Amino acid sequence: MAGGFFGLLYEVDLETRDVRRVEVPQEDFRLYFSGSGLAAKLLYEELDASVPPLSEKAPLVVLPGLLTGTPVPTGCRTILAGRSPLTEIWGETTAGGFWGAELRKAGVDGLVLRGKADRPVYLWITSRGVEIRDASHLWGLDTFETDERLRQETDARARVAAIGVAGERQCRMASVIFEGSRSRAAGRCGFGALMGSKNVKAMVVRGQGKVPVHDVEGLRALFKEDIPYIQKFAAGLTQFGTAGGVEAVEAHGDLPIQNWRGGRWAEGATAICAQTNLPKHLERHYACYGCLIRCAKIIRYPGDSGEERVSHQPEYETLAGFGANLLNDDFIAIARANEQCNRYGLDTISTSAAVAFAMECYEKGLLTSKDTDGLDLRWGNVEAILKLVDRIAYGEGIGALLAQGARRAAEQIGPRALEYVVDVKGLDVAFHDPRAFTSMAVSYATAVRGGCHLEGLTYFLGRGIPLEDMGYTEPPDPHSNDGKGKIAFDLQNYMSIYNPLGLCKFLFLGRVGPRMIARWVEKVTGWSMDQEELLRVGERIFNLKRLYNVRLGISRKDDILPPRLLNFPRPDGRAQGVLPHLGKMLHEYYELRGWSEEGIPAAEKLRELELDWALVLMR
């Protein structure tokens, strides 16, 4: 018997309050796994380009991965997918924690939410099914309070995924926060707004069963070697978390500084990194379900009234966004901004990018203190940063403008403001610089959801992490333009299996390649699986999501970087003077992908990937 899935989704109609059990054939799991792969299949089939992302008709798919809830290392992740409220193209966002495993242990593979409830509700999901409950008393609470209240109301061991005030207000940068103060954030693409538009405050789950595994003993036998191997290579992440990388990132010229204008910030990086701060503030380490790396850190730090606060250590991306990119070297202020964002349910990447954008507009005179209601948006002004986050969450004054994201704000401020927006396809670029590792230029330009670092993670190779299964044993030249299309092609195909399987991409830092993952999939499912087949699934899913975007008007014209990253060299530091030759990389990339010069997947390629059915819907 095949393991790894139940073949069952709950389809929740929030308007009629009907909950339907939908069977999913085994063949779909085989071709797309689960998570963002199966979500791509479901969403592509029903895509109607005329339905806006925040329409009542827009579906929200919630799917843990195929290995989520199994004993496979890091098999914890949950994927939310749909049309992104921020970018209006394909959107997916993921979170770790325990929620996904809990859902699968309730005997179901995922949820599809449709329609809009007539008042605030939350979903209570157990092995008995889905109950739609009133959440009027929770509307307006932050995600930490919501988590506590809902565990009191349901089951102390339940897991909660909730939106905060930002999602309620349909801020397009709104996140979904899993498990309250432990803050596993499904941050990107604005799915908190989609939940908010449906009047869904939270999804609460308690599962007490097991995810079926084909060969448990065989799987455990593999772990005897695999787990020590991963732990050995991921030791740095275990010690400091992602925040341990800030100084090294800066050294490679990879850290965004002052809205991506600076070149060096070594002393600042030292001031905000985990090596400096964690020894003073560490409360405890935290691991997601099935994780042997334990990269998450809970810290104690002083609040603005001197009270002691316990919250999550800012991740690297948050330190870069609220730190270096704003010229803010105050770690405590970044920790506060991080907690604010998590409580309000705001993506720390897009929110800090919006603040950086506003600060540059302020510096250049496109925004004045009159526009900001007196907020002095000078670089590094901690008080102004924290107040601006409040205003974004509540949509007050300048915050209402920025809450729709930097690009929409720039379109209202005026054409010159667009110079200071650093996004791809409307998604603010994550904080790794394609001028430091040029493979990221083509990786960002072609990432399905826009300025996403995770779809290719090609900078991992550039920073010295090998991927031996795929022939990458030595770091490529970080600054050349040769062979970068091939790197993006290979790594996007590989990384495209992570969200469908529900695995954490930090396995890559643990030197895990597709060969090891294919063996895990074999043992869990009972299917025959090798590296080649695994990568083929990745390539299939990547192309299907590209097709989704093509139907929304995306083509080569959109596979571009913002001027700040394409035309402006960093003034000093390791990446001084480097500019990526994107056109050259794209040419190589499209050829490998089997896409036309316009960036459209060719029919022959789609047939090869068993996507003939998708081709029919293209017409």
Chain positions contacting other proteins, by CB under 8 A: 236-237, 240-252, 254, 266, 273-275, 295, 316, 432, 463-465, 475, 509, 574
Cβ–Cβ < 8 Å for 106, 569: no
Q: Closer to other proteins by CB, 171 or 246: give it.
A: 246
Q: Closer to other proteins by CB, 248 or 332: give it.
A: 248
Q: How many CB atoms lie within 10 A of CB 567?
A: 9
CB of 135 to other proteins, least distance (A): 37
Alpha carbons 302 and 544: distance in angstroms, whole number: 47
Cβ–Cβ < 8 Å for 395, 404: no
CB of 572 to other proteins, least distance (A): 13
Cβ-defined contacts of 517-522 (< 8 Å, 24+) = 519/222, 520/67, 520/72, 520/219, 520/222, 521/4, 521/66, 521/67
For 520-533, give one letter per residue: b (16+ CB within 10 A) or e: bbbbbbbbebebeb
Q: Closer to other proteins by CB, 273 or 327: give it.
A: 273
Q: Closer to other proteins by CB, 97 or 241: give it.
A: 241
Alpha carbons 585 and 15: distance in angstroms, whole number: 47
Cβ-defined contacts of 432-435 (< 8 Å, 24+) = 432/249, 432/254, 432/459, 433/253, 433/254, 433/255, 433/256, 433/260, 433/565, 433/570, 433/575, 434/561, 434/565, 434/580, 435/253, 435/565, 435/569, 435/570, 435/575, 435/578, 435/579, 435/580
CB of 405 to other proteins, least distance (A): 24
CB of 265 to other proteins, least distance (A): 12
CB of 320 to other proteins, least distance (A): 8
Q: Closer to other proteins by CB, 92 or 433: give it.
A: 433
Q: What are phi and psi of 14, to 5 degrees?
A: -70, -25
Q: Closer to other proteins by CB, 55 or 275: give it.
A: 275
CB of 271 to other proteins, least distance (A): 13
CB of 458 to other proteins, least distance (A): 13
Characterise 209 by phi-psi region: left (phi > 0), alpha (psi -120 to 50), beta (else): beta
Q: Closer to other proteins by CB, 124 or 444: give it.
A: 444
CB of 316 to other proteins, least distance (A): 4
Alpha carbons 229 and 225: distance in angstroms, whole number: 6
Q: Closer to other proteins by CB, 111 or 326: give it.
A: 326
